[in-house]
Amino acid sequence: MIVLLDAIVFQNLFIEKNGGGNRLICGNQSCKYEFCWICLGPWESHGSSWYNCNRFNEYDAKKARDDQERSRAALQRYLHYYKRYHNHHESLRLE
């Protein structure tokens, strides 16, 4: 069994996460703050999304758009050269 441990320091407390969802509750008896492990924001704004932080991340969105654009450009390049290869192959066949 593989166990992944992550740790953060929150309100001068060392918090260790060992599996489970992203909703954490501060162990300080006087605090009991519920927060998201990913963004450390209040859990109230996350709704029932236990395993994914639903906050919009501009960096991740830009990276996804850039990855998509690179994939599209790679496909266009491939198709360009494939058409050239195919046309050359057909012209050799017709000779």
Q: Where are the domains of the chain?
A: 6-46, 56-95
CB 40 within 8 A of CB 9: no
Q: In sequence order, what are the residues at sequence separation of 6 or more whose Cβ sits closer than 8 angstroms to the Cβ of residue 49? A: 22
Quick one: tokens of 59? 């960096």
Measured CA to CA, the distance from residue 11 to residue 7 in angstroms comes to 13
The pLDDT profile of the chain, 95 residues, written as one tens digit per residue, is 333 444 455 556 666 677 778 888 877 777 788 888 777 778 887 777 666 777 767 787 788 788 888 898 999 999 999 999 999 999 999 88
- pTM flag (> 0.75): no
